[in-house]
C-alpha cells in the first residue's frame, strides 16, 4: 500500500514522446548482484517488492549484472506484480566465467540472442525498454537499433532506449526508430551531459533516466567494502583523489544536515531540481535505503539551494578508469 509520503508524490514522468509514464524515481538493481559488495537475495527481493508496492514502476537491470543473477532476481521479485512495472534492460556487455569484462557485442544476431535469454531469466513475454549498454565500435548503431526495432515489431520489446551514447549517436539511432530515453550518469558530481547531450535530447523529444545520483555512494559517505566491491577500482574513491574528495563529501553532508535532509535525499533532490523532466534511477539494496530515497520526493530543493550546493562540491577523478572512459561514446567531444 502506498504511504502518505508517496501519495503526495504521485505524479508521473513520460519517457520521450512515445514512451511510458513512470513514477518520478526508478529503482536500479545492479548493486543487488554483488557489484558493491555483499548482498542478500531475500532482502533484495523484499526491497524490489516494497518499491513496487510504494508506487515505483521503473525497474532497471542488465543481462550482465552478476552474469544473469540480477535478471533472475528481478524475475522472482516481480512475479505477480508484472503489470505494475516497466522493465528497463541493458544488454551487450561480454563477461568471462571469472567475472572479467571482455567488451561489447551489438551485432543484430547477438542482440536477438541476448533478448531471448533476458526474457527467459526475467520470466516475462515482453521487455518494456531495451537498450544497448554501450556503443560497440565494430557495429553501426543503425544495425543495433534496427535489430531491436525487429523485436518491437515482433512484440518482444515495447520501447527502445540508449545508454551512455553521445550526441551524434543519439541522432543516428533516433532516425532508425524513436528513442524514448537515454540512460546516463548524472549527479552534482557528474554534470558532463549538460553541455552537449541534454540539449540534443530536448531537441529530439527524448527523455533521460539518470543513474549514479549518489556518485556510487561517494556523496553519501559510503566506501568500498573489500575486493569484490567494484568501487575500489574507481578513480574517485582511490588514492589522492579519494583523499581530496573527502572535503567535498563533508561539505555536502553538512549542507544536507542544515536542511534536515539525509545525504541521499539531498543528492536526489539536487538532480530533480536541475532536471525535473528526467527520472533519477536510485541504486539501493535494502528497504531502509529505499525508504530514505523515497523521502526525497517530499523534500524539494530550491534553485537557490541547488546553485549553492554546486559551489561547495568539486570532485576529483573521472567516473570510470581511463580505459573505460576512452570507450565511452558519451564522453567523446
Choose the catalytic residue: 65, 130, 156, 320. Answer: 65
Any residues with CB less than 8 A from the CB of 92 and at least 6 apart, and which?
Answer: 63, 64, 104, 105, 106, 110, 111, 114, 132, 133, 134, 136
Using an 8 Å Cβ cutoff, are 148 and 127 in contact?
no
In the chain, where do the E strands start and end?
13-14, 21-22, 26-28, 58-62, 86-91, 93-95, 101-104, 127-132, 157-163, 179-185, 207-211, 279-283
Phi, psi (deg, nearest 5) at residue 21: -85, 130
Q: How far apart are CA 189 and CA 319, in angstroms?
A: 9
Nearest to 42 by CA among 77, 75, 70: 77
The residue to which cell 516497466 is assigned: 86
Q: Is 65 a catalytic residue?
A: yes
DSSP string for residues in 213-253: TTTTTTTTT----STTBGGGGSTTTSHHHHHHHHHHHHHHH
Q: What is the SS3 assignment for 99?
A: coil
Using an 8 Å Cβ cutoff, are 33 and 39 in contact?
yes
How many other C-beta atoms lie within 10 A of the C-beta of residue 269? 26
Q: How far apart are CA 42 and CA 230, in angstroms?
A: 22
C-alpha cell at 32: 543487488
Kindly list the catalytic residues: 65
Amino acid at each position: 500500500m502506498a504511504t502518505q509520503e508517496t501519495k503526495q508524490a504521485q505524479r508521473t514522468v513520460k519517457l520521450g514522446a512515445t514512451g511510458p509514464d513512470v513514477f518520478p524515481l526508478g529503482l536500479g538493481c545492479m548493486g543487488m548482484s554483488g557489484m558493491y559488495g555483499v548482498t542478500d537475495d531475500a532482502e533484495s527481493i523484499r526491497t524490489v517488492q516494497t518499491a513496487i508496492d510504494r508506487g515505483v514502476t521503473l525497474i532497471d537491470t542488465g543481462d550482465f549484472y552478476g552474469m544473469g543473477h540480477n535478471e533472475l532476481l528481478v524475475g522472482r521479485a516481480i512475479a505477480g506484480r508484472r503489470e505494475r512495472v516497466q522493465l528497463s534492460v541493458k544488454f551487450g556487455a561480454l563477461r568471462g566465467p571469472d567475472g572479467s569484462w571482455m567488451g561489447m557485442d551489438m551485432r543484430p544476431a547477438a542482440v536477438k540472442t541476448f533478448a531471448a535469454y533476458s526474457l527467459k531469466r526475467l520470466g516475462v513475454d515482453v521487455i518494456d525498454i531495451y537498450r544497448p549498454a554501450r556503443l560497440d565500435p565494430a557495429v553501426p548503431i543503425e544495425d543495433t537499433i534496427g535489430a531491436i526495432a525487429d523485436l518491437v515489431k515482433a512484440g518482444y520489446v515495447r520501447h527502445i532506449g540508449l545508454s551512455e551514447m553521445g550526441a551524434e549517436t543519439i541522432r543516428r539511432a533516433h532516425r532508425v526508430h524513436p528513442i524514448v530515453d537515454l540512460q546516463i550518469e548524472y549527479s552534482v558530481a557528474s554534470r558532463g551531459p549538460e553541455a552537449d547531450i541534454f540539449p540534443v535530447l530536448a531537441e529530439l523529444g527524448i527523455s533521460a533516466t539518470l543513474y549514479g545520483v549518489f556518485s556510487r555512494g561517494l556523496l553519501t559517505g559510503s566506501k568500498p567494502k573489500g575486493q569484490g566491491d567494484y568501487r575500489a577500482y574507481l578513480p574517485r574513491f582511490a588514492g589522492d583523489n579519494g583523499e581530496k574528495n573527502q572535503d567535498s563529501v563533508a561539505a555536502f553532508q553538512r549542507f544536507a544536515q542544515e536542511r534536515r535532509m539525509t545525504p541521499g535525499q539531498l543528492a536526489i533532490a539536487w538532480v530533480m531540481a536541475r532536471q525535473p523532466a528526467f527520472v533519477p534511477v536510485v541504486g539501493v539494496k535494502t528497504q531502509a535505503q529505499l525508504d530514505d530515497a523515497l523521502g526525497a520526493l517530499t523534500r524539494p530543493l530550491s534553485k537557490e539551494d541547488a546553485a549553492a550546493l554546486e559551489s561547495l562540491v568539486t570532485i576529483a577523478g573521472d567516473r570510470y578508469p581511463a580505459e573505460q572512459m576512452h570507450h565511452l561514446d558519451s564522453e567523446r567531444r
